[in-house]
Each structure stands twice: as C-alpha cells, then as structure tokens.
Amino acid sequence: MLKNLGVGTLAVFVLWEVLDFVLHGIVLAGLYSQTGSLMRPPEEVKMILLVAVVFISAFAFTYIYVRFVQPHTVQRAIQYGLMFGVAVGVGMGYGTYATQPIPYMLALGWFLGTIIEAVLAGLLLGLIIRD
C-alpha cells in the first residue's frame, strides 16, 4: 500500500501542477485580470503554500482511492475521479461564485477544470494502481 500511495501521490501531484498551470496560467488568465481587486497581485501569491496545498490534496485523493475504492480498475478510478471532481468542483466554482463577486465564467472554469483534473488523476491512478 505504501508504494502505491507514494507513486500515486507523486504522479497526481505532477499532473495537477501541470494542469493548474494550463488552466489558471493560460485558459483563465484573462478572467483573473477582471478580478484584480479580489486576488493577490502575482508577486504576493504564496507559491510555496499553493504547492503544499496541491501536494496534500494529491495525497488525500490517492489515499482515498488506495484505501477505500475497490476494485482498483481503470473504470472504477475514472468513476472515482468524476465523483471527486464534482464534489470538490461545485464548492470551488459555485460556492465561491455565491459568496464573492467573481465572473460567472471564472466559476464555471473552476468547476469544469476541477472535474477534468480529477477525472484525469483518476485515470492516472487506474493505470498505475491495479489489484
């Protein structure tokens, strides 16, 4: 279990870091510029904290899969990723939209981006961790 947990966590972490760069740094960059008063300026972003958050999230995602999802198949891993993505994405996208004056398209981007990232992470775990 420890080997699967370590390899899976590292793989999901790298995947999410790359996808986060694409999603937030490229796809949603224009929308972030419309929310300047709500976000920290780029030079004040706490990058080390963000990296730690992604790592801890990757560990939790992988741990839940390894420990609680059976059997370890690609199909089951994708299903897990989809449900995890919807559960986390709805809060991230629409929960934030309900409480902060962000553009709707940013909320939608967070919601859909979270689902895509979780499904791809599930697929990756399904390919790495097998019964």
Which is more confidently placed, 36 or 2?
A: 2
| Range of the structural domain that residue 44 is part of | 2-128
| Cβ proximity of 78 and 122 under 8 Å | yes
For the chain, what is the domain count? 1
Where does the pLDDT of residue 2 fall: very low under 50, low under 70, confident under 90, or very high at 90 and above?
confident
pLDDT at 114: 98
| Amino acid at position 131, single letter | D
Q: Is 46 left (phi over 0), alpha (psi -120 to 50) or beta?
A: beta
**pTM for the full model?**
0.93
pLDDT at 70: 95
Where does the pLDDT of residue 1 fall: very low under 50, low under 70, confident under 90, or very high at 90 and above?
confident
Does the pLDDT value for residue 42 go beyond 90?
Answer: no
